[in-house]
Amino acid sequence: MLTIYGIKNCDTMQKAMKWLDAKKVKYHFHDYKESGIDKATIENWLKHLPLDKVVNLRSTTFKELPDTDKAAISDKTKAIKLMMTHNSIIKRPVWDFGNGQFFLGWDEKELSKLV
């Protein structure tokens, strides 16, 4: 089953869920602001998605981090810890199609090929 990860209040997440509902696609939504995100999930994402894309360098949360934390994203282990602590720095949505296929962000044309 499709799982999308993100934050409920995010405009992009709301757009994605509305799109899925309109297409009558069954999915599970994991709100990592409410439920958190674990190391194993992030490690799985990083097997399929580049670290520098999973971390949203343009997010307000990332911009407000101390320089030492910003520098930590170049180290995978430190970046995972940072994403677990400050999950708002994770690009949204993360799409897990449940079959080893992942997609990051919102691109209706590309997602139409996958859903």
Give the integer Cα–Cα distance in Å for 113 and 58: 27
Around 43, how many Cα atoms within 13 Å sit in the side-chain half-sphere? 6
Which of 2, 3, 7, 10 is an active site residue?
A: 10
Q: Is 10 a catalytic residue?
A: yes
The catalytic residue positions are 10
